[in-house]
Structure 1
Amino acid sequence: MPTRVHEFSWPDRVVIGTIGVPGARTFYLQVRAGTQIVSVALEKQQSALLAEKIDDILDQLVALEGNPFSVPTSTPIELVDNDQLEAVQEQFRTGAMSLGWDPTTAQVVIEAYPIADVGAGNNNEALDQDGIEAPEMLLVRMPVGTARAFTKRTREVVGAGRPVCPLCGYPVDADGHVCTPPEV
């Protein structure tokens, strides 16, 4: 059965955003091109790691001797996006992701795949004509300036959560925190 691909080659918007309060936030990767919007849920750690790895790719390109690509070292001010998420309709919850670089278009490439839910029936999933769940994925290609803006925003969104305990490294809730420092 063919995979349903939600593909965005030159998106108008690519952001990580959240719904909910710190400690109970749901993170979304949202992509828009014209009127097509796709939102996929992901974990906070996936969001943070995605931003880190995109920055790594861009930093390696900047440091590359004879680099033919014009990669910004910081976020271009005209690409900063601090707006809220648009209407969110979760397409799927992200499991595996891959990240790459396409030198032919000078774009960062993100692929997101849903969590494989073996044996569980979910009425929200896309079904083919035989009633079998159709596999799907999100494919996003974004230019280097957009990628820098994406990582800046993602780091800010991830950092806007609960503060981290300096002793145990776990989040501190508004109603208090009891921890056991790690043993040395």
Structure 2
Amino acid sequence: MSRQIHVFRSPERFLAGTIGAPGEREFYLQAAEGRRVVSVACEKQQVAVLADKLGALISEVAKRFGEQAGAAPFVPADERLLTPVDAEFKVGTMGLAWDGDRSQVIVELLALSEDEVSEDVVLEDSEEGPDALRVFLSLAEAQSFAQHAEAIVAAGRPPCPLCGNPLDPQGHICPRLNGYHRELG
């Protein structure tokens, strides 16, 4: 089967979202343009890293090229994934690039693959390699995505003040307390 590359040159939306309750959430990235919607499954840490790296890229572009993000309400007001969510693939490798000629950020998400993915595959349209989702964003759109993604990641379970692991509503066995569960109150 040949490689599929889903390209969104002017997406109406590109956002991170979740399905499920905190502690059981599944994370997705979704791009939509007209009636075409592509969703990909990913890990919470991948969303956090993508948001962080986009922020760093935006800062670097501003410093080197003087381009400013400005403000753009890119993430829809309801900030939810369009349903039904049917993931095309699970994200393995992520790539970011700056297209100075078009003043656009390029986000590429490659499918998880058993084979090692070389840098040559990222942002290439070759027949070989994993499936991909490629999204072109203005700086303002990239910044809006990053802010929304950070909020999605932060909306999960609060961290334990001692060990940093997620707290369940009923608590957890903290490794810093050697399994001893102190009564609260």
Instruction: Quote the RMSD (CA, aligned, Å).
Output: 1.9
Q: Deviations over 1:11-60 (max 9, x none)?
A: 11000000000000011000001111000000000000100000001112
1:27-176 matches, cutoff 5 A: 27-64=27-64, 67=66, 69-72=67-70, 76=71, 78-83=73-78, 84-87=80-83, 88-117=85-114, 135-176=130-171
CA contact (8 A) 1:102 1:108 kept: yes
Q: Aligned equivalents of 1:143 and 1:114: distance in 2?
A: 24
Counting matched residue pairs gives 162
Paired residue type of 1:171 = P
Kept after mapping to 2: 8 A contact 1:107/1:143: yes
The AA in structure 2 aligned to 1:116 is S
**2:40/2:90 contact within 8 Å kept:** yes
Counterpart residue type for residue 100 of structure 1: A
Maintained 8 Å contact 1:61/1:71: no
Deviation at 1:175, TM superposition (A): 1.5
**Displacement after TM superposition at 1:86 (Å):** 0.2
The CA deviation at 1:105 is: 1.2
Which segments of 5 or more consecutive residues in structure 2 lack a partner in the other structure? 116-128, 178-185
Which consecutive residues of structure 1, in runs of 5 or more, have no partner in the other structure?
119-133
Kept after mapping to 1: 8 A contact 2:13/2:74 = no
TM-score (norm 1): 0.81
Opposite residue 86 of structure 2, the aligned amino acid is Q
